[in-house]
Structure 1
Amino acid sequence: MTGSKKKAPKLSPISQLQGVLLVLDNRSGRPTAEMLANVREMVGDALAVMQEPDPTKQKIAFVLLAIQQSTEVVVRVVRNKELTRVTVIDQPLYHWALREIHALAGAA
């Protein structure tokens, strides 16, 4: 019988996200700077949400983060009026976030 492999210790989600940040900072062959900035922002936001000690505030922050990630907001000025266009870019995530908002509002 062959020797059994030791399982690596299970890392918390926070440790895993922090590991991603370390890899992004130390990697030699980087993709585009814009992609790295987006990943860094998303991981930073996720870490901030996950480290919130109050479960209610954590859930609210997670739902807001989901809405931010599932939509795209463009503001333009046309004839001296500011127009805001919101485009949903991730329908399932956006709909989940709206259901969660309604559930949170019903619980209050």
Structure 2
Amino acid sequence: MTSAKKKAAKLSPISQLQGVLLVLDNRSGRPTAEMLANVREMVGDALSVLNEPDPVKQRIGFVLLAIQQSTEVVVKTLRGKRITRVTVVDQPLYHWALEEIHALAGAA
């Protein structure tokens, strides 16, 4: 195992994904082949760790991701009050996620 692999093995999935964001936020121009390889490796490692063997937990995670992807949340402060506006940007995905939530709640 190389020293780079040993370091990557010690990083948590969250740290790996944050590293991906740092690489992607690099404003110095186009990403190099090495940077892209690092991104690919970090994402692959994070996904392999985040794979949940429990099918119910996998389903819950997918539903939460669908809710996140199908909605847009904007928080504003207006006259000292916090206003949260949620807009559904993908109706079919949002409706599917709500159906899954109801199915999960009925199964519990």
- Taking structure 1 as the reference length, the TM-score comes to 0.56
Equivalent residues, number: 72
**Number of the residue aligned with 1:83:** 83
Alignment gaps of 5+ in structure 1? 1-20, 31-39
In structure 2, distance between residues paired with 1:97 and 1:62: 9
Tell me the percent identity: 77
- Dislocated runs of 4+, deviation >4 Å: none
Q: CA deviation at 1:49?
A: 9.3
Higher helix share: 2
Higher RCO (Cα < 8 Å, 6 or more apart): 2
Contact between 1:49 and 1:58, CA under 8 Å: does it hold in 2? no
Q: CA deviation at 1:61?
A: 0.4
Alignment gaps of 5+ in structure 2? 1-19, 31-39
RMSD: 3.2
**Number of the residue aligned with 1:58:** 58
